[in-house]
Amino acid sequence: MTTALLEAPRRTGFLADLRGPALGFVGPGWFTPVMGTGIVANAAATLPWHCPALLVLARGVWVLDVVLLLVVAAATVAHWRRHPTTARGHLDDPATAPAYGAPAMALMTVGAGALLVGQPVVGRTTAVVLDAVLWTAGTLLGLWTAYAVPKRALTRGPQGRPVGRHEAHGSWLMPVVPPMVSAATGPLLVPHLPPGGWRPALLLACAAMFGLALLASLVVIALVCDRLVRHGPGPAAGVPTLWIVLGPLGQSVTAAHTITAAGAGHTGLGVAYGVPVWGLALAWLALAATTTVRTARRGLPFSLAWWSFTFPVGTVVTGSSALAAATGSRGFGVAAAALYAGLVVAWLVVATRTAHGVYRGHLLDAPIARRQPLAVG
Of the pLDDT bands very low, low, confident and very high (cuts 50, 70, 90), residue 368 is: very low
Name the residue with higher pLDDT: 313 or 360.
313
3-state helix/strand/coil string of the chain: CEECCCCCCCCCCHHHHHHCCHHHCCCHHHHHHHHHHHHHHHHHHHCCCCCHHHHHHHHHHHHHHHHHHHHHHHHHHHHHHHCHHHHHHHHHCCCCHHHHHHHHHHHHHHHHHHHHCCHHHHCHHHHHHHHHHHHHHHHHHHHHHHHHHHHHHHHCCHHHCCCCHHHCCHHHHCCCCHHHHHHHHHHHHHHHCCCCCHHHHHHHHHHHHHHHHHHHHHHHHHHHHHHHHHHCCCCHHHHHHHHHHHHHHHHHHHHHHHHHHHHCCCCHHHHHHHHHHHHHHHHHHHHHHHHHHHHHHHCCCCCHHHHHHCHHHHHHHHHHHHHHHHHCCHHHHHHHHHHHHHHHHHHHHHHHHHHHHHHHCHHHCCCCCCCCCCEEC
pLDDT of residue 333: 96
pLDDT of residue 166: 61
Is domain 2-368 annotated with CATH 3.40.50.2000? no
Mean pLDDT value of segment 236-247: 94
pLDDT of residue 153: 75
Least confident segment among 28-42, 63-77, 287-301, 359-373: 359-373
Mean pLDDT value of segment 246-251: 97
Mean pLDDT value of segment 282-306: 94
What average pLDDT is seen over the chain? 87
Q: Is 218's pLDDT higher than 80?
A: yes
Q: What is the pLDDT of residues 150-201, one digit of tens each?
A: 888 777 644 455 565 667 778 899 999 999 999 999 999 999 998 888 999 9
Q: What is the pLDDT of residues 5-28, one digit of tens each?
A: 333 334 444 444 444 455 667 889
pLDDT of residue 87: 84
Mean pLDDT value of segment 89-100: 85
What are the structural domain ranges in the chain? 2-368
pLDDT of residue 316: 98
pLDDT of residue 291: 95
Least confident segment among 19-23, 105-109, 303-307: 19-23
Of the pLDDT bands very low, low, confident and very high (cuts 50, 70, 90), residue 366 is: low
Q: What is the pLDDT of residues 115-152, one digit of tens each?
A: 999 999 999 999 999 999 999 999 999 999 999 998 88
Q: Is 375's pLDDT higher than 80?
A: no
- % residues pLDDT > 90 (the chain): 67
pTM above 0.85, yes or no: yes
